[in-house]
A and B are shown apart, each in its own frame.
Chain A
Amino acid sequence: MGALKRYTTSVDGTIPVPALLYQDEEVIASQEGVGIYDGAQKSARHQTGAVHVSTHRLFYIDASHPRSRSFALDLSHVEQTDYWAGLLRSSAKVTLYLNALPRLATPGPTQGASTNTRQNPDSAFDVWECAVCSYRNPPGLSPSASMVCGLCGVPRAAMPTASVAVPAPPRARLEPPLSSSLPPASSAHRSPRAASDPPSRVETPAGHACPACTFLNHPSLPACEICGTPLPRPAAKSAPASRPTSDDEDEGSGGEAPRMIKVSFRKGGDKAFYAGLRQSLLDKAWEGPKLRRALASTSQDPSRAATPTTASRTGIHGILQDVQTTAAATQTNMEDALQDLETLQVQAREMVRYAAELNERLTALSAPSAPAAAVEPEEAAFIRSSLAQLGLQMANAPVTLDMARDERRWHEELARELAGVWGGWNRARGVALIPPATFLLVLPHLPSCTEPPVSRRTFASGLAVLHTPPYSRAAFSARLVGLLSLGTCSSLFFLAHEEQLPLGLVQDMVGEAEDAGDVCRDEAEGRVGAGARAQEVRWWANVFLGYVWDGQAD
């Protein structure tokens, strides 16, 4: 009879279930024709009845002896559930595994607002006044809801220590060693075991002995007069008459009684009921949001007394601590987010390193190879080797126009080569692949990571290039004007040759110089006897810039 007795509260089953509920409680599912197993054995006294699961509790209303055999079980005790669908003559069963009852809570009804069921008659159906806002909290709320003031949210049990704002020592831990080490003569009546005696004996002494310094305080004092340690509250009204505590004690401390209760559904309805039960357990209505917070920060709940933050969190001090906690949490989140960013930066730097390396190799090549137009295969070999050095091994070798005469094939080969470079690069990056869009996003950061800075230029034609400072618009224009003012030749072909740049690129760059007014053009149509050879545009420095009339004057 262990679990059933320890965890349940007897209720008067003649009262209809809705009348048994707290104000903030409601019935989720009901099923009649059930039997109860206490542990593995059938509980003989509870074999025909109805079960109701509410947001807070599970009720069993006995069919034959509703008044004496009905009980209620707080769902807050349920740790885990199990469902067995039944087989042949065996009915479907729902098993409720119960959590370990706090051992101290059982013997000593010391905490005014503990969630133990035995206090329900007192705490739940009592009008109490909030110490902070003086709001008179109405009765009828569930134990958890009645633990905090309905108006200001200050925990009810925090009242005594609120004014002191001293972190309350974790009594639940301190008490057993203290009480056992104390001389029996001086404070035997204060020991937890003694406290399980009828409450009248607790009240008898003239004062309360402080658990820390043994000073006998006036019974009405909430904290020790000498050392400020919160005193155990008087247990006068907390021990319920209905609860047999004596044998319970032995079981709890002695052998490991099975902590489970089974509900056997003899008339079906098990599935709907189990769903309702699960829902109820998930919702945890017995610890509402504000309540959950209050509970976490106070040491009133014995099961949470072991948490390191046992300081009282009421008053301004509590608010400040809350703010600090929130700030710390925000900080942690921010750091997490920033770590992601840093990873991205590291990758960008790596990419820049690749680009710089490539650039270096390319410039290293172009410097010695003065007779550039002469040897195509050599160039191809270079490209291949430099790509290989960069870890961009490609199955198909780089092609030049010479290798593929057919123009279409040439373009196809080029496309394949381009895809190869991209793929090779991504392969070199291992699993941290980057999409082209990211690559484009990275480009604006290149100048800050490269020396000399590699910048990006986008031309009107849509062509975008990465370039070193000598190829910036201003620098190139200056060089271009210098070249053009030599006057020897001024065709694009010549310029491309001089600059060692592709014709298309030079065209775009010269076009930009023209847009800026640095150069001007001399078109073939203006030529009187323009032959086929002279059809192309020739470029001039802007001869109109700063021109002063030097012709016939009036």
Chain B
Amino acid sequence: MSSSSTSLSSRTTSSGKRTRPSDVSLRYLLPSIHSAPPFFTQQPNPNTQATVSENWTKLILSYARHRRLFTLRVEDAEVPGGEWDEILRNTRINRRLLPSHLSHILADMVAKNRAVYEPAKQTRAALLLWRSPEEWAEVLHSWADSTGQLNTILTFPDIIEPPVPSPLSDIPMTLLRKAISVLAKTNRAQIISVADGEGVRFLAGNTSR
């Protein structure tokens, strides 16, 4: 998965060993920009800051996908020891991302549909869309298809905590609902009320591949 064309200054997150495609699941390859001190400062020049935000967005989403993280909070930049420390801090150059800067980046991501504030009506935490709801819908449908669960009624917990780990394990409920509603619009899913809550039945669908 990882491209081998990384620069010399790219570093792995642990032990300094170069990442090989084989052990990509353990280590995250940080970009070289992460060791540039100005990367951690909010730039007054709007053009420069646009590049900074763009690279931070990419870093956050890439890291989130790698670590299967769905939520980023402003307090992750305030309190050390969280699961985001690896990218929000760079102890080697003695820099950290300031909460105000993170807040700015989050706003930028929300504006670009790469995150949504979760819960809504606050700006301290956001759901990261390293896959868009449409992409999640495809993933969901192909999972159901590949596991032979089409036309079966599944509860939400069945999807979120499947007995066999799936690409959808631990997906936030909000995101799951978005994905299902995308499928429902194209008649590939149907939301059904069941005894202990809600269920969904996936259909083969006429527009599927």
Contacts and interface: CB of A to CB of B under 8 A. Distances in A.
Contacts of B24: 552
Interface stretch (A8-16, A398-406, A470-478, A524-532): A524-532
A549 B96 CA distance: 20
A502 interface: no
A549 B98 contact: no
A58 B35 CA distance: 107
B45 interface: yes
B43 A547 contact: no
A514 B51 contact: no
Nearest to A511: B44
Contacts of B33: 543-544, 547, 550-551
A328 B103 CA distance: 76
Interface stretch (A115-123, A194-202, A387-395, A515-523): A515-523
Contacts of A528: 89, 91, 94-96
Contacts of B59: 551
Given A517-B45, A540-B37, A549-B55, A525 B98 contact: yes
B203 to A, nearest CB: 30
Contacts of B3: 553
A552 B62 contact: yes
Contacts of B48: 514, 517, 520, 542, 544
A523 B49 CA distance: 14
Interface string B1-28: 1110111011000000001000010001
A554 interface: yes
- The CB with the most chain A CB atoms within 10 A, among B29, B37, B44, B101, is that of B37
B208 interface: no
A552 B38 contact: no
Contacts of A542: 48
Contacts of A515: 45
B40 interface: yes
B52 interface: yes
Given A517-B45, A521-B43, A528-B94, A540 B36 contact: yes
B176 to A, nearest CB: 21
A554 B36 contact: no
Contact of A551 (B45, B52, B62, B91): B62
A353 to B, nearest CB: 40
Given A525-B98, A527-B95, A540 B38 contact: yes
Interface string B37-68: 11111111101100110010011001101100
Among B7, B41, B89, the one with the most A-chain Cβ atoms within 10 Å of its Cβ is B41
A543 B41 CA distance: 12
Contact of B96 (A526, A540, A553): A526
B167 to A, nearest CB: 13
Nearest to B12: A552
A67 interface: no
A522 B48 CA distance: 13
Interface in B123-153: none
B94 A550 contact: no
Contacts of A427: none
A271 interface: no
Given A528-B94, A551-B34, A553-B2, A520 B43 contact: yes
B45 A526 contact: no
A233 interface: no
A506 B5 CA distance: 39
A467 interface: no
Point out which of A523, A527, A538, A542 has the most chain B C-beta atoms below 10 A from its C-beta: A523
B41 A552 contact: no
B161 to A, nearest CB: 25
Nearest to B6: A550
B94 A521 contact: no
A542 B48 CA distance: 8
14 contacts: A514-B45, A517-B47, A520-B43, A520-B45, A520-B48, A521-B41, A528-B95, A540-B38, A544-B55, A547-B51, A550-B7, A550-B32, A551-B58, A553-B62
Interchain residue pairs A-B with the least CB separation, the first 6: A551-B31, A544-B51, A522-B37, A526-B40, A552-B29, A520-B38
